[in-house]
Amino acid sequence: MATMKLVLVLMMTTIVAVWARDPELTNDFAVPVGMNASEITGDFFTFTGLRNFSAAPNTFGSKKVTQYKPNTLNPPHTHPRRSELIYVMSGHLDVSLIDSANKLYSAHLHEGDLFVFPQGRVHFQINMSKKRSVLAISAFGSSNAGTISLPKNIFGSGIKDEVLLQAFKINSAELMKLKAPFMPTM
């Protein structure tokens, strides 16, 4: 009888573990019924309805706000485990993402705008202003969305030079320049 209970508990644990897993993505993002995927632009991922939001600024609390100083870039990266939602609190921020067909989706966000970066898609943010900083908040659908910074992972990971030279079709001097910021310092 005890053996039967143990088998039953193990079976239920296996079923719960299987149900607890997130589904695999089969597409880069969901395209609404009746919409042609080839007509989608960066506006599809943007919500502008909060641009003129009239709540007092101190009614919104956050533990972490990203400041994009003038002319700074959050380099191309991806979050393999969850999507990212970015909200621009002040300033203007340019954002882009790339789908698996190598299509670039871009948007110029204003204060109050939201943008969704689908899970696993390469994306970046840049403050093109020469004078004004941008404040933005990012939220993820997980406490551990993961971040893979492409420049750091590619040029600072120890991939053999021969592989990078062929992949990027550059010479050794150019490769050393690209790797320099990511080399360990002593």
Residue ranges for the binding site? 74, 77, 79, 84, 123
Q: Where are the beta strands (DSSP E) in 23-146?
A: 46-47, 66-68, 73-78, 84-90, 93-98, 104-109, 114-117, 122-126, 134-140
- Sequence letter at residue 150: L
List the binding residues for oxalate: 74, 79, 84
Spatial strand order of the sheet with 46-47 comes to 46-47, 114-117, 84-90, 134-140, 66-68
Bridge partner list, 87 = 114, 137
List the binding residues for Mn(2+): 77, 79, 84, 123
Q: Which stretches within the chain are classed as H helix?
A: 2-19, 150-155, 161-168, 172-179
- Angle (CA) 181-78-157 rounded to 5° is 40
